[in-house]
């Protein structure tokens, strides 16, 4: 095998073309990694939201919380069903909730969008993954107080600590920020069930019952009871299935991201190919010499492919480094199931960064293949005559 230092030093000698190609590849990798990290972010937000034992009960025929409507009295009876898990205090993990959407302005004059406001009782917190207050305090029922996530506060007007969110001309004061493992709960504003239903002038209405089964068998029994017991006649789905439906938002982002990334990748591969063609053309005599010395076609092919891969990998590493500051950067996308916005953070996980490097290696292989084949196809004697 031809020593790798031969390739590395050649890249260094042609440092200007190497630099240009590296920067081009880095930009493409950065764009692709950022897209992938956002997809991973939304994917995480929706996947982490679903606990395998948790159920969401809605009005029969409803597929989402916004279009659901339940009598609060009936909804509260759900907690008496057998098979519901209980918290340390022995209370059933069953939360009657009311969800409404409000059209609110984004910060920095970026238009308006729908946000989800959820009214719930304290037990609802136990049904969200690792719920914790990170700043301020939890809300007190009856005082028209609200809590939300820091990402929401930074994206929307009137959601910072101390600011007031208007719901049907009633001001709800934001008193705290919470986290829930990056789940979809972090895309919501929470308030007390009674406070929000009163503000909405629908005091007897709920939209959802969230509950946790004791085990998988109990989960099945609960679904049967909620769907078939004449007292309830609800639609009951597992949280995992519910959020799987909502993943369609991430699929759209995924498709758009992949299409854009594909165009960029093909473009960058051609740039790498161009650089490598120039390298092969200027090193014909070296190639002839190496062949004369006894390096076979395969060694030449591997050497030039390797050079192309090194070239693009440098771009890959640079691209990944460039996007590191975007880790945790939060944004939102439409959740078409609920006509609202899901807020999520870019997740620059090792998997996403590895995908970026892999992409760069792929670009190197793809871009280097034709030049390497040209190098291999050279006639030794003709190549040796090149000046």
Q: What are the residues binding other proteins (CB under 8 A)?
A: 1-3, 5-6, 9-10, 12-13, 285-286, 288-298, 380-381, 384, 387
Least separation in angstroms between CB 20 and other proteins: 19
How close are the terminal C-alpha atoms of the chain, in Å?
A: 25
> Residue 217 or residue 296: which is nearer to other proteins going by CB?
296
Token pair, residue 84, equals 């519901």
- Buried/exposed 333-344: b ≥16 CB within 10 Å, e otherwise: bebebbebbbbb
Q: How far apart are CA 12 and CA 76, in angstroms?
A: 72
* Nearest of 16, 208, 20 to residue 117 by alpha carbon: 208
Contact 63/234 with Cβ under 8 angstroms? no
> Residue 5 or residue 230: which is nearer to other proteins going by CB?
5
- What are the φ/ψ torsions at residue 168 (nearest 5 degrees)? 50, 50
Least separation in angstroms between CB 270 and other proteins: 26
Tell me the C-alpha to C-alpha distance, in Å, between residue 36 and each of 40, 42, 250, 253: 6, 10, 11, 9
> Residue 8 or residue 324: which is nearer to other proteins going by CB?
8
Least separation in angstroms between CB 9 and other proteins: 4
> Residue 281 or residue 380: which is nearer to other proteins going by CB?
380
Cα pseudo-dihedral 358, 359, 361, 366, rounded to 10: 140
> Residue 295 or residue 339: which is nearer to other proteins going by CB?
295
> Residue 220 or residue 298: which is nearer to other proteins going by CB?
298
Least separation in angstroms between CB 263 and other proteins: 35
Least separation in angstroms between CB 262 and other proteins: 35
Least separation in angstroms between CB 1 and other proteins: 7
> Residue 216 or residue 381: which is nearer to other proteins going by CB?
381
Cα pseudo-dihedral 25, 45, 338, 247, rounded to 10: 60
Least separation in angstroms between CB 28 and other proteins: 28
> Residue 230 or residue 387: which is nearer to other proteins going by CB?
387
> Residue 266 or residue 292: which is nearer to other proteins going by CB?
292
Contact 212/78 with Cβ under 8 angstroms? no
Q: How far apart are CA 152 and CA 136, in angstroms?
A: 15
Residues 6+ apart with CB under 8 A from 185: 49, 128, 131, 149, 178
> Residue 148 or residue 275: which is nearer to other proteins going by CB?
275
- Its sign, for the CA torsion 206, 212, 218, 219, is positive
Token pair, residue 42, equals 């939304």
Least separation in angstroms between CB 289 and other proteins: 4
Q: How far apart are CA 228 and CA 224, in angstroms?
A: 6
Least separation in angstroms between CB 313 and other proteins: 19
Contact 109/182 with Cβ under 8 angstroms? no
Q: Alpha helix locations (H) across the chain?
A: 4-13, 15-48, 72-77, 150-155, 193-199, 216-228, 239-246, 248-282, 284-293, 297-323, 350-377, 380-385
Least separation in angstroms between CB 31 and other proteins: 33
């Amino acid at each position: 095998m031809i020593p790798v230092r031969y390739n590395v030093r050649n890249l260094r000698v042609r440092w200007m073309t190497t630099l240009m190609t590296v920067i081009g590849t880095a930009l493409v990798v950065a764009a692709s990694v950022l897209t992938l990290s956002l997809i991973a972010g939304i994917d995480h937000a929706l996947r982490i939201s679903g606990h395998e034992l948790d159920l969401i009960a809605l009005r029969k025929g409803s597929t989402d919380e916004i279009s659901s409507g339940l009598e609060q009295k009936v909804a509260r009876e759900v907690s008496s069903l057998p098979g519901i898990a209980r918290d340390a205090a022995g209370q059933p993990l069953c939360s009657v909730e009311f969800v409404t959407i409000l059209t609110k302005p984004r910060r920095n004059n970026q238009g308006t969008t729908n946000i989800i406001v959820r009214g719930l009782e304290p037990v609802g917190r136990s049904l969200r993954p690792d719920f914790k207050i990170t700043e301020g305090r939890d809300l007190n029922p009856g005082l028209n107080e609200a809590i939300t996530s820091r990402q929401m506060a930074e994206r929307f007007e009137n959601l910072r600590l101390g600011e007031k969110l208007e719901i049907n001309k009633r001001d709800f004061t934001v008193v705290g920020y919470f986290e829930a493992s990056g789940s979809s709960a972090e895309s919501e504003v929470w308030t007390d069930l009674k406070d929000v239903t009163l503000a909405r002038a629908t005091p007897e209405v709920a939209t959802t019952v969230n509950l946790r089964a004791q085990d998988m068998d109990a989960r099945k029994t609960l679904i049967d009871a909620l769907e078939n017991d004449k007292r309830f006649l609800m639609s009951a789905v597992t949280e995992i299935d519910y959020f799987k439906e909502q993943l369609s938002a991430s699929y759209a982002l995924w498709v758009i991201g992949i299409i854009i990334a594909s165009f960029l990748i093909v473009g960058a591969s051609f740039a790498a190919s161009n650089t490598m063609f120039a390298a092969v053309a200027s090193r014909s005599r070296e190639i002839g010499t190496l062949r004369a010395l006894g390096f076979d076609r395969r060694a030449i092919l591997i050497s030039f492919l390797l050079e192309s891969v090194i070239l693009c990998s440098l771009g890959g590493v640079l691209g990944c480094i460039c996007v590191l500051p975007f880790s945790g950067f939060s944004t939102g996308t439409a959740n078409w199931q609920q006509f609202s916005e899901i807020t999520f953070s870019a997740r620059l996980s090792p998997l996403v960064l590895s995908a970026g490097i892999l992409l760069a290696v792929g670009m190197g292989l793809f871009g280097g293949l034709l030049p390497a084949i040209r190098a291999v196809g050279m006639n030794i004697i003709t190549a040796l005559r090149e000046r």
